[in-house]
Amino acid sequence: MIIRISDLDDEGLTFNDVAALPAPYADRAWRLDGLDLRVERDGLDVFVTGQLRSTVPQLCSRCLESFSAPVRTEVDVRFAPRPASGDAVELAGDDLDLCFYTDDQIDLAAVIDGETTLALPMKPLCREDCRGLCPSCGANRNLTACGCDTRPPDPRLAVLKDMAARLSH
């Protein structure tokens, strides 16, 4: 959904209905469950604030099983007009949430997609107590109990193992 900055009045816009944004994500498997966004204009700057609730398919980083992850995120983004290409722009620490717009418009779907992506966990887990895969046989420890030795032998003691074999001959 494209929002024209010049069309924003003093009251701004509020988005509470998911149906108003039919396909905000580039990945069609992602689902927007709910939103409460406010778009307000302050001079040339535009503020997008609120909350997003989504469901995103993920792969568990321990067991590699697919699962649907609920994603909740707060949105607090400030847009400013993109400076001319020859102008140098120096950003301060409080400008980390600053984005630029061009052609008097903001793509709200891109904001939703970007903020949801930033809220995804770096190491997704299907559940907190996920036991992962066995490093020896590759079995999913959540589904089966494998009989593999969980600790590989210490490579520093390999010399002693050879010595024991030589002494027994």
Asked if residue 54 and residue 20 are part of one domain, the reply reads yes
Phi, psi of 78, deg, nearest 5? -115, 130
Residue 125 lies in a domain: no
Cα-Cα-Cα-Cα torsion 25, 31, 35, 38, nearest 10 degrees, comes to 0
Asked if residue 50 and residue 27 are part of one domain, the reply reads yes
Of 157 and 141, more confident: 141
Say yes or no to pLDDT of 58 above 80. Answer: yes
Average pLDDT over residues 139-164: 80
Residue 145 lies in a domain: yes
Residue 41 lies in a domain: yes
Asked if residue 98 and residue 63 are part of one domain, the reply reads yes
> For the CA atoms of the chain, what is the radius of gyration?
26
The whole-chain average pLDDT of the chain stands at 86
Helix (H) or strand (E) holding 33, with range, is strand 31-42
Tracing tokens 């102008």 back to the chain, one arrives at 87
Give the number of domains in the chain.
2
Helix (H) or strand (E) holding 110, with range, is helix 108-119
pLDDT of 31 reads 93
The fraction of the chain above a pLDDT of 70, given in percent, is 91
Residue 124 lies in a domain: no
111 residue type, one letter: V
Q: What is the span of the domain harbouring residue 143?
A: 132-169
Residues 6+ apart with CB under 8 A from 134: 141, 146, 148
Asked if residue 107 and residue 138 are part of one domain, the reply reads no
Q: What is the pLDDT of residues 105-132, one digit of tens each?
A: 888 889 999 999 999 999 999 999 999 9
CA distance 50 to 74: 6
Residue 126 lies in a domain: no
Asked if residue 102 and residue 43 are part of one domain, the reply reads yes
pLDDT of 38 reads 93
Asked if residue 136 and residue 115 are part of one domain, the reply reads no
